[in-house]
Amino acid sequence: MNTTQTFPAAQPDNFPKKYVAGERLGSGRYEIVKKVGEGNFALIYQVRELASGRLFAMKQATVARKPYLYRSEVKMLTILRDGPHILPLHESWLDEDGAMIIITDYLDGGNLKQAIVDRGCLKESEALSVLGQMVQAVAHAHHSTPPIIHRDIKPSNIIGKRTGTDRMSWYLADWGLACEWHRAREPAVSGTHSYTAPEVWRKRRYLVSDVYSLGMTLYFMLFGRPAYEGGSETIGKHQKNVNPVNIPDSCPKPLKTLLAGMLAKNPKKRWTLDQVQEVVLPQGKKRKATLLLRSRLPAGKGWTIAEAGVELTFNWVPGGTFLMGQSAAEQETIIQTFGEEDYTTSFQRETPRHPVKLNGFWICRTPITRASFSRFQQKTGYQTLAQREGWFRVWNPAKGRLERREGEGWMAPGFHQEEDHPVVNVTYADCLAMAEWLSQRCHRFIQLPSEAQWERACRGGSETPFSFGEQILSDQANFNGLKPSPFSQPGLFRAGTTPVEHFSHAANPYGLLDMHGNVFEWTRDWYEPNFYHTSPTENPRSVWSKQGERVLRGGSWLSPSLRTRSAYRDSFAPDERDADVGFRLVGLAYPWEQ
């Protein structure tokens, strides 16, 4: 290992050298496979050792003026080599530009922070499993002579390695800020502010400072965020405040006690690592590999209700965070094409785009069909509001518009429908009635989707206007393709609904059909045009608004492509009905499915 070379005094414009796939380095011992990540101070590559064919991770310094970060990491990983759940070091050297190269084991599971963002919060047993593995790593460092403190423990510095089907072991990485602990003096506030112990703000650091960071990491695993967020000044005020960290009342008492002990702001009252070990690793027990941190159910997995002649398939939508609302590119396109006035009137309500975190849920693969709704009515004797009031709306092809007509409702919408077409002319209350009946039959809470659930399901992980991409085509969805739009090519106008499986070749990444077009779909949220400005970021639900209308989503066979985008919001009075309005349902996830 060679770490005696000096670093450049100033960072050149082309520092560091950029490696490409197939390039060899380390005197020809390694070959670049691909770049896999980038941080503030390093690039991460996957490399292959040519002699053995084994894959490794290569960390390449990107800041020439901070050589101590890399030298410190090599030193600490060398001292701690073979420690439990510590990223294993293979070798290191300086490349021709003076950039430190560090070769470590390649861990293929990603970091803990991203895993929780993608999958959602952990169950108590899973969180304690990860914590137990980290306690073993930190204990090994603290028991060194002299003790080594990490100084930057946080979820993004905990890396997973697959150890079998849906199993993962976790390793503590990024030891660049670690140091040998001789005294309490801390020369500068270091580490990530949300996970930094309060005493560090007073330029003091102890072994229990790492315990605080572990405690805040546990807090993140359980609740999906650290206790304190914001800029350094805001977090610093919270950390210096004598009030204890707020732990939700719903937290089980033993876990709440553990968190309170680890997150005590006074380091003299904080639990030691040995106390934490007694709880999470009783009698020296080693924590086994925890479940892989993604939904245990793959996105799009199906679950079928078959009750009283009604057969519905629900697909799984994993919990996580997504961007909800209209993008800046969509805004620019709409304004340029349709003008500022139309944009303000009809499309500004889709802004601002904002992150939303949801729990996982089940959603119908297709809109509810005529066949399913008819069976529900036959079994229950339920009459729709249209049947009780004696009017509904139909499509008048001669006039090219929807018109009110006397009659019983969804059976005759003015165009031909088979039993596999979506039911239309149903009101909000009609949808709830079927949901309540299904809930009783299948012993799972069934309801209309929230607006956020609907958009999460529609996007299928995409951030483009459609789950298909930037545009939509007539062979992907049923919409009015005769109306010109920058969001589609000229296409068909079918003047009515299509079978819900008609576009089975165009399912979105969650396996869902007809999320764009065919029929508008009811959601359970009240419509508020400015809701996105004040919307909660986690499992949002709108409250009653003066408009007194519910949100419709998805567009219909009558809509131009502009109004079938994932972000498009419309509204309808709960007692209204129309020949292009239907619905689909969602199922509540059981805790073990999350």
Which of the 8 DSSP states describes residue 65? T
Mean pLDDT of 9-37: 81
Report the range of poorest mean pLDDT among 99-103, 265-269, 366-370. Answer: 99-103
pLDDT for residue 294 is more than 60: no
3-state secondary structure 558-587: CCCHHHHCCCCEEEECCCCCCCCEECCCEE
pLDDT for residue 188 is more than 70: no
Report the pLDDT value the prediction gives residue 288, as an integer from 0 to 100. Answer: 58
Buried b (16+ CB within 10 A) or exposed e, 2-11: eeeeebeeeb
Report the range of poorest mean pLDDT among 102-106, 362-366, 431-435, 440-444. Answer: 440-444
Report the pLDDT value the prediction gives residue 165, as an integer from 0 to 100. Answer: 63
pLDDT for residue 33 is more than 70: yes
Write out the two tokens for 216: 């805040």
pLDDT category at 292 given cuts 50, 70, 90 is very low
Mean pLDDT of 48-73: 83
pLDDT for residue 591 is more than 70: no
Report the pLDDT value the prediction gives residue 545, as an integer from 0 to 100. Answer: 65
Mean pLDDT of 198-223: 91
Closest by CA to 412, choosing from 389, 445, 438, 386, is 386
pLDDT category at 6 given cuts 50, 70, 90 is very low
Q: For the domain 112-291, what is the CATH code? A: 1.10.510.10
pLDDT, the chain, mean: 88
**Strands 520-526 and 581-582, bridge-based pairing:** parallel
Hey, which CATH number is domain 302-324+352-593, 3.30.470.30, 3.40.50.620, 3.90.1580.10, 3.40.50.2000?
Answer: 3.90.1580.10
**CATH architecture assigned to 24-105:** 2-Layer Sandwich (3.30)
CB 310 within 8 A of CB 438: yes
Which tens digits make up the pLDDT trace of 234-283? 888 888 888 899 887 667 888 999 999 999 999 999 999 999 999 998 77
pLDDT for residue 421 is more than 90: yes
Distance CA 129, CA 290 (A): 6
User: 196's torsion region: left (phi>0), alpha (psi -120 to 50) or beta?
Assistant: beta
Which tens digits make up the pLDDT trace of 130-159? 999 999 999 999 999 999 999 899 999 999
Report the pLDDT value the prediction gives residue 456, as an integer from 0 to 100. Answer: 97
Diameter of the chain measured on Cα atoms: 90
Report the pLDDT value the prediction gives residue 67, as an integer from 0 to 100. Answer: 66
For the chain, the structural domain boundaries read: 24-105, 112-291, 302-324+352-593
pLDDT category at 68 given cuts 50, 70, 90 is low
